[in-house]
Each structure stands twice: as C-alpha cells, then as structure tokens.
Structure 1
Amino acid sequence: MNFCSDNTTGVSPEILDALTQANTGTAMPYGEDELTAKVQKRFNEIFECETTVFLTSTGTSANALALDALTPSYGSIYCHKDSHINCDECGAPEMFCGGAKLITLPGPHGKLHPGELETALAATNDAVHHTQPAALSISQASEAGTIYGPAEIHHLSAVAKEYGLYFHMDGARFTNALCTVECSPAELTWKAGIDVLSFGATKNGAMNAEAIIFFNQKLAREVGYMRKRTGHLHSKMRFIAAQWDAFLTNDLWLNNARHANAMAQKLKCGLETIAGAELYFPVEANELFISLPENTLQALEDAGYGFYRWHDAGSPLIRLVTSFNTTEQDINGFIQTALEAS
C-alpha cells in the first residue's frame, strides 16, 4: 500500500463512467460544450454567487494562472515558507507572473499568522528598487495537513485588504478542509475574503481536473488568454468538465474527502500508541506527519509500504497520506506491522 500521496491512487468509478459517457457523439471544443456550461452553473450553486471559472488539468497551472491574474511582474506574493507554490512548483508562479517575487513567511503548523503578515507588509515601501505587495496566497489544507477556519481566513484577509493585496487560496485539498470545518464553501472562501480559489479534484478521485474559480470577477478578464497562451486550454474540454460534473454530483466530492479524512484519523489513533511515536502537527485533513522509531520504519518499508521520509532520507519523520479509496484493511495492516516492530 502506498501512502506517499493521494496522487498515487486511481480514479473514482463514477468519474471513469462519466468519461465514458462523454466519449460519445461530438461536442464543441475549447470549453464551448454543454458539460462545461453545466459545471459553471454548478459552481455558482455550490459557492452561492456568480463566479468565473477556468478549467484546467494540473494544480500547478491553476495556481500559476490564478496568481498571474493578481500580480504584476514587479509584484510580491506573500506565502508560507513551506507552501506548495514556493517549494514544489519549479518557479511556475514567478514565470507565469513575468518575474514576480515570492515573499515567504514562517508560521506554526504550516499556516500564516496575521501578525507576521502585517509586520512584513508594514516594512515595505514604494521605492522603485523594490517589488510591490500584490497578493497573498494560502494553502487549504496547508502543507502540514492543517486547516484555516473561516475566522482565520477573515483575519488574514483584513490585513491583506488594508495593504491592497488580493487573496488567493491554493485549494488542492479544499474539500478535505471543508469536510473538517463543516461550514459552507462560500463561508470558507469569498465570504471570508478570498478573491480566487484554485479548486483541486485530482487528489480527491478525479483523473486530471482542476478549476480556477474567480469570486472577484474583474480579476478574470485576461485569464482566458493566458490559459491559451501557456498551453492549458484543452481542445476537448468536455473530458475535464465530465470529471467535474461527476465529482460534484450526489456529493461524491464530499464523500470521497470524508472517507480520506476518516482513514487519516484511524491511522493516527493506531500509530500514536507506539512507544516513541510523535505527531508533529494536528491531523485535520488526510495527511499525517509522525516520527516513528527507525526499526519500525524499516519494518514498514521491508513490508512494502510506501511513504515519504520528510526532510531527508534518514529522518524518522514521515508523511502518510490517505485517499478516497484507502481501506480499513490498508490501515489495519500498516498499524499491525508498526506495532509488531515496536
């Protein structure tokens, strides 16, 4: 069993079925099809407002295109030092933005704090020698698997708005966060101050489906051109839309995320009883960061379990990620192997 990432899993059967159904007849290309229009309306319903949506197939393109809409080439994007846009996207946000600069900030449990943000922004000035504050980006859930509640987002938004920053949310695991917070999608986004959301489905059962959702629609005016220019406008867009249509039907998106979150909690409860085990962050979504004795890790690796050792190859800290199709048998087997080695 591979716990390295929720990207290691396959595709929800419902989504595969939807792709098969979409693979009949003809449809207009480049997003002019009926399924894409249907999905746009569905997003409006889910978020309780009029949105402008651009479908794409990768989280990196969703984040980079969204940030390009918010940030001039001489701008600064404020983010957590461990954020995905800083550590894992090979400079794509800076490239798409024409050279904008990421300003990284610390924060416990993978999250930004309004005080740190305000301190950093208060130290800026409008001298031509410096990049200018333009955007704030947070990950939901964070790279530590922790979650921003609506109040936390609102407090960050208040600081961002005071200094004229637009607010972006990297929602690769947005649904996992939503299921834990148990509020509405609107309350976790635009009602708390988010201007644009990169909404991910791929990690939660889709094949390759992401969406850039603009709540502040004036910011979306040029994104269509940039999506085309950068090679992320799919000619057969109906196959991206079909995934979203199935994902958002009959609560598949919520049920998948609830299951992944529940499996992470089960894993946590089993592993934290091991002598020497240490949880590094609260388990709030579907990621678990835990330190285990080296002999336990070796036994798990020898048994064929996949996971990442965090920071370096010799670290006792590992990351475990559960998915929409992780089974209780998978969890029980991992825990039993760990217990027997301890």
Structure 2
Amino acid sequence: MYFTSDNASGAHPDILAALTRANDGFARSYGADAIMQRVTERVREVFEHPDAAVYLVSTGTAANSLALAIYSQPWSAVFAHTDAHIATDECGAPEFYTSGAKLIGVPGDHGKMNPESLAQAIGRIGEVGVHGVQRGMVSITNVTEAGTVYTPAEIAALTAVAKSYGLPCHLDGARFANSLVTSNASAAQMTWAAGIDVVSFGGTKNGCLGVEAVVIFDPAKAWEFELRRKRAGHLVSKHRYMSAQMEAYLEGDLWLRLARQANATGARLAQGVAGAGARHQHPAQANMMFPEWSLGTHARLEAAGAAYYQMPARAGFEAARLVTSWNTTEAEVDQFLSVLRA
C-alpha cells in the first residue's frame, strides 16, 4: 500500500532490459549514440512534428529549468500557477538557470489557471518601464500539482492569452502521459497544436529509471539549449543509458500503457475513497488525489502499513496525498480501501 509518489515506483522490466542491451560494447558519448538518433525520430513521430529538437536530461528540475531558460531573460517574468511545481518544488532552480527570471504566481481553483486570471497577471507586469520585470513567458503544468488535468482546449485558451502579449509557452509534463490518457488527446494536440513552444516530457515517474526529454518545437532554439545544458552540468557523457530508457519507453507505446495502469488504479482508489465517506479536495482526474477524512484515520492506515503524505486539512479532519503508479495493483488499492472502511 505505497502511495507516496510515482517517483517511488520501480523501473519497468522493459526499461531495465534496454539498459542491459545498451551496455554491450562501445557507443559514442554525449548524445551522439545511435540509440539517440532513433529516439529523436521516434519523439518527432509521437509529437507529429518533423522539425522538433529533442534532448534528454536526467531530472525534471533540469528539464523544466533549462526549457524556461532558452525563452527567458534575467529580467523576465515567468507566469505559472501559484502552486506549480516550478514555483514550489524546484528550490529556486528556474530562477537560477534563467539567471534571475521572476516567477509570478497566477491563482486558480484546483491547481489550474484560467484565461482571465492569466490575463490579469500578465497585464500587471511591465507597466513601470525599467523599474520592473518584463513580460517573459507562461508555464503550464499538466498533470497539475492538484491532480487535475488541462484539456488541449484549456491549454489553447491559456496560450492564446500568452500569444496576445507575444509570450512563448512551456508545458511541464512530468506526468505528461497521464494527462494524455485522461484527456484522450494526442501529444501534438496537447502541445504545439495548442500553442506550446517547449515541453518537458517526463519518463521517470512513469516507469523509467531516470530520464526526461525536452522537446523544442522551434529548432532555432536548439543550439542555445545544447550550450545551456552543457554549462549546467546536465550533458551526460554515457548518454546511451538515457537514450536506451527513452527508446524502450516509447517502444510499442509502453509509456501510454503504463500511464493507463496508473490512472486506472488511481480511479479505483479515488472512487473507493469517496465511497468510504472521504471528501476529495480537488477532482481526481489522473493518478493523484487529495482526500480528507475523519480524525484518527492516519493512525489506523499507517498501522496497517499504508504509506502516503499527510497534507493540511480543515479543522476536525485529516488530509492526504495519494499517488498511484504504473505498478500499483488493484489488490493494493482494495487492501487500502478495506482498512479505510473498517
């Protein structure tokens, strides 16, 4: 009954097998390996964008921060939801890698910005000339930190606001596969066709050992990304091991199959939790949820072996964050629900 994070899950056997194959013999370093060439072509197929530039890094923090850096100046404002991962969980890395760009929090219910709140936030910036930061770019997180999912239409509405001010847009897709499964959208529909300029395409949370792709839809930005990645210390010498993970992840749409499993067990858990009398703080739309339940429930669940994060709650209640992953089983979910109902 382990629901702390999809980061806590193991790597899928196909990923591990690909690493074993990649370990045989010699390969060119720093991304010049033959596997990476195949990965680039496969990512372009997945996103239906033949000119996309594709790069791999080992962490989501690096993927997000470097993606923001190629579109931001030190005096830029980056607009994101108040609770976005880049604003709350990156230890200032976006500001560091952009050499000082300022994150501007945009409010919105259930972890989601709306076009009106985004327009208001952008409109307040850049009106005092040299004395204030200038409008820079917009960052959208999908799946959000509240476990909700933007549809392609919702993303397009946000990017339309950004484009009206001439601003580029980034998508933090650490759980990108989960958002696609929920919305039944294609990678293209969720990104460049909806106005996204660069996406962090996550693999680590969804069955990989440790790899994230940065997909840039303007190839003119590719060289700057390469320079920033090297300068930041994120150009891996034995790159073939990251390439091998991403190739196996995409092979036969494994990435989507794993996300469907995580979302399916997430839906089973969310429905069961609600059926046991708990209240969800946010709509549970993918593989992450935030239930509230009666006092004393934490002690009972933890005594039974359940692992999850405790969260702030209303007076007289307890709250949790529960996350399912690709290898969460129905049996684990049912065991948790049995304890919860007891």
**Partner of 1:146 in structure 2?**
148
Alpha-carbon distance in structure 1 between the residues aligned to 2:154 and 2:212: 25
Tell whether the 8 Å contact from 1:126 to 1:132 is kept in structure 2 after alignment. no
What letter matches 1:217 in structure 2? P
Q: Which residue number corresponds to residue 178 of structure 1? A: 180
* Structure 1 counterpart of 2:171: 169
Is contact 1:291–1:317 with CA below 8 Å preserved after alignment? yes
1:7 CA drift (Å): 0.6
Shift of residue 311, structure 1, vs aligned partner: 3.3
Partners of 1:220 and 1:116 lie apart in 2 by 32
1:274 maps onto 2:276 in alignment: yes
Q: In 2, distance between residues paired with 1:80 and 1:113?
A: 9
What residue number does 2:204 align with?
202
CA distance in 2, matches of 1:223, 1:97: 12
Q: Distance in 2 between matches of 1:19 and 1:78?
A: 38
Distance 1:21 1:164 in 2: 46
Give the match for residue 7 of structure 2: 7
Distance 2:172 2:122 in 1: 21
Asked if the contact 1:150/1:188 (under 8 Å) is kept, the reply is yes
Q: Aligned residue for 1:35?
A: 35
Q: Superposed, which structure 2 residues align to 1:108-127 within 5 Å?
A: 108-124=109-125, 125=127, 127=129
Is the 1:309–1:317 Cα contact (8 Å) retained in structure 2? yes
- For residues 75-116 of structure 1, the C-alpha deviation after alignment (integer angstroms, 9 at most, x for no partner) is 000000100000000000000000110000110110011101
Per-residue CA distance 1:269-319 (angstroms, 9 max, x = gap): 2111223x101111111001100112222100111211111138x961111
Note the C-alpha offset of 1:126. 5.4
TM-superposed deviation, 1:38: 0.5
Task: For residues 101-134 of structure 1, give each alpha carbon's deviation from its aligned partner in whole angstroms, at most 9, with x where no partner exists.
Answer: 0000110110011101111222232510101011
CA contact (8 A) 1:263 1:328 kept: yes
- Please list every run of 5 or more consecutive structure 1 residues that lacks an aligned counterpart in the other structure: none
Could you tell me which amino acid in structure 2 is paired with residue 54 of structure 1?
Y
- Partners of 1:193 and 1:132 in 2: CA distance: 21
2:213 corresponds to:
211
Report the alpha carbon displacement of residue 320 of structure 1 after superposing the two structures with TM: 0.3
Structural mapping, 1:1-342, within 5 Å = 1-49=1-49, 50-124=51-125, 125=127, 127-275=129-277, 277-311=278-312, 316-340=318-342
For 1:230 and 1:9, how far apart are their aligned partners in 2? 28
1:211-257 superposed Cα distances (whole Å, 9 cap, x missing partner): 11001222333110110111100001110010000000111100000
Deviations 1:195-224 (CA, angstroms, capped at 9, x unpaired): 000010000000001011001222333110
Give TM-score, length-normalised by structure 1. 0.97
The aligned amino acid for 2:101 is: A
Identity of aligned residues (%): 46
Q: Measure the CA separation in 1 of the matches of 2:205 and 2:84.
A: 17
Runs of 4+ in 1 over 6 A off after TM superposition: none
Aligned equivalents of 1:233 and 1:221: distance in 2?
13
**Greater alpha carbon shift after TM alignment, 119-128 vs 153-162:** 119-128
Question: Which consecutive unaligned segments of at least 5 residues does structure 2 have?
Answer: none
The TM-score with structure 2 as length reference comes to 0.97
The CA deviation string for residues 144-185 of structure 1, in whole angstroms up to 9 with x for no partner, is: 111111111111111101111110000000000001111211
Report SS of the residue matched to 2:73.
Answer: coil
Measure the CA separation in 1 of the matches of 2:286 and 2:309.
17
